[in-house]
Amino acid sequence: MSGYGATFATMQALGLLPMKAENPAYVRAEQGSGKGTKLVVVGAGVAGLCTAYEAKKLGYEVTLLEAGNRPGGRVWSGRNGDVVEFEDGTKQTIEWTKGLYQNMGAGRLPSIHGTTLGYVRQFNIPMEIEVNTSRSTFLQNDHINGGKPYAQRKVINDSRGHVSELLSKAVAGGGFDQEFSTDDKKRLMDFLSYYGPLDKAGKYKGSDRADLKQYPGAGPQDMIVNEDTIPLDTILKANFLGYEMYEEAWDWQATMFQPKGGMDAIPYAFAKALGPVLHLNSPVTAIAKTGKGVTVTYLKEGKETHITADYCVSAMPLTILRKIKVDLDPAHQDAVTKASYRGSYKIAWEGPRFWEKDFNIYGGLSFLSQGPSPLWYPSADIFSDRGILVAGYQDESIDRFQTMTLPQMFARSRGSVERLHPGHGDKLEKPIFVGWKRMKWYEGSWIGAQPAAEYDVMNQPDGPIYFAGDAMSHVVGWQEGAFLSGIRALQMINDKVKSA
């Protein structure tokens, strides 16, 4: 931890500062401190874009080289005409109706990712709410309830109801007489009675939070609660808990956001600010240490081109870095070689918004215990006619996609939709499969479990070569981690330049 960070954390521990994650991280440096220093950044994902952008602001002479034909890396929104290209040459062209899109990589921003939101503010990127939790979404398990899905509201509220009933029973039965006073017991019982909610006998018999048999209406039509709750035994066997608690993960809690029109508004804002610093279609083939710095070799219109610099920041996925000829010391070489990336995918379909009109589902995620899961409903353009539905967003290995053809994967994905929305699966069309482990220039969704020693090595420079990307952070799989790692790499370089 840096000195600043340590002091900050100590002050927080003492209660002197509120926990304000919205404070963006910045490079602490004097204006113009990069003047006369040459820097090459490799990879125009958000880590590379941010590194180059901050370096340019400090006066560095920066070149940002990107192998592909667009900035953003895994922060990419697919639209009509876009081509998805796998490393093995497989190509898919997106044919969705114009105006529709899907964030095929990064898809949401939490309100506590302060550095990311700091850039959103700097670039004035128009934002909207991303719905990560909707009580109308489903939880489903083939072996539970005859395979029929439950609404999330029922699972979550029935779970709390049963837990409250059991604890109420234990308290009433004298189980806590030793530790609680009569007053405390009374308060706890009152709490559980509302928390459950429980009836006067301490029983949980459903509630309007969980399920209604009849909605209240005009005239005589009053609310009727469905007292037929999911039995505790079923909840325990259904293995839904991970889905129930999903909304409480610290970086998935409401409120979440998305840029209007697609997540790639963020990288495109950086690209615009960088102007000619960014070179697309410029795959790097080698990074050599020169003693005074680095020589980076890349292909420019197919021709080998060399560029020398004082420092290089590799912001490529380690899966790509290891395919390039780079002068790495043994420790870095070892960590790069061993890095194991995950193979998360998304399958996205165009269709009419039956999930809104027929199922009250506006954004949020439905989870299945088998087959492609979850279904992720669009938060953009709610109430419009058509939308892009994600049916399957997890690691390929879970669905054994490695053994399947694209049509087989699509059939499985449609099957998941049909399980939750019977009779509607056939309305979906133009599926696109983006398996990040197969994607050209990426070959991985994010880094998997890694020994701490390898993580620590990659977070230190190898001579003039520094490493950035979410893999060099404890915020793996998020833009926040990529930004913070880019800022950290540049901070290390700048501190070195200053002390030189």
Amino acid identity for residue 47 in this structure: A
Beta carbon of residue 409, minimum distance to a second copy (angstroms, whole number): 28
Of 86 and 195, nearer to a second copy (C-beta) is 195
Which phi-psi region, left, alpha or beta, contains residue 146 (left: φ > 0; alpha: ψ -120 to 50)?
Answer: left
Of 21 and 404, nearer to a second copy (C-beta) is 21
Phi, psi of 389 (to 5 degrees): -105, 130
The residues near 245 (Cβ < 8 Å, ≥ 6 apart) are none
The residues near 263 (Cβ < 8 Å, ≥ 6 apart) are 75, 76, 77, 103, 105, 106, 107
Beta carbon of residue 447, minimum distance to a second copy (angstroms, whole number): 13
Sign of torsion, CA 81 105 440 43? positive
- Would you tell me how many other CB atoms lie within 10 Å of the CB of residue 403? 8
Of 30 and 456, nearer to a second copy (C-beta) is 456
- Picking from 55, 22, 52, 263, the residue whose alpha carbon sits closest to that of residue 121 is 22
Beta carbon of residue 225, minimum distance to a second copy (angstroms, whole number): 9
Q: How far apart (Å, rounded) are the C-alpha atoms in residues 466 and 296?
A: 13
The 3-state DSSP class for residue 399 equals helix
Q: How far apart (Å, rounded) are the C-alpha atoms in residues 205 and 257?
A: 36
> Which residues lie across from 214 on neighbouring strands?
224
Sign of torsion, CA 260 262 266 269? negative
- Would you tell me how many other CB atoms lie within 10 Å of the CB of residue 10? 11
Terminal Cα distance for the chain, rounded? 23
Strands 375-376 and 365-368 come out as antiparallel
Beta carbon of residue 484, minimum distance to a second copy (angstroms, whole number): 4
Of 80 and 136, nearer to a second copy (C-beta) is 136
Of 83 and 223, nearer to a second copy (C-beta) is 223
Of 218 and 500, nearer to a second copy (C-beta) is 218
Which residue spans within 264-391 are E strands per DSSP?
278-279, 284-289, 294-300, 303-309, 311-314, 325-326, 345-352, 365-368, 375-376, 386-391
Of 223 and 411, nearer to a second copy (C-beta) is 223
Of 40 and 361, nearer to a second copy (C-beta) is 361
Of 84 and 390, nearer to a second copy (C-beta) is 390
Beta carbon of residue 347, minimum distance to a second copy (angstroms, whole number): 23
Half-sphere exposure of 91 (CA within 13 A, CB side): 6
Beta carbon of residue 372, minimum distance to a second copy (angstroms, whole number): 22
Beta carbon of residue 427, minimum distance to a second copy (angstroms, whole number): 17
Of 382 and 404, nearer to a second copy (C-beta) is 382
Beta carbon of residue 248, minimum distance to a second copy (angstroms, whole number): 4
Angle subtended at Cα 129 by Cα 124 and Cα 130, rounded to the nearest 5 degrees: 115
The residues near 52 (Cβ < 8 Å, ≥ 6 apart) are 39, 41, 44, 62, 64, 270, 274, 277, 278
Beta carbon of residue 259, minimum distance to a second copy (angstroms, whole number): 10
- Eight-state DSSP code of residue 96: P
Beta carbon of residue 109, minimum distance to a second copy (angstroms, whole number): 11
Beta carbon of residue 216, minimum distance to a second copy (angstroms, whole number): 4
Tokens of 290: 């020169």
Radius of gyration of the chain (CA): 26
Of 126 and 275, nearer to a second copy (C-beta) is 126
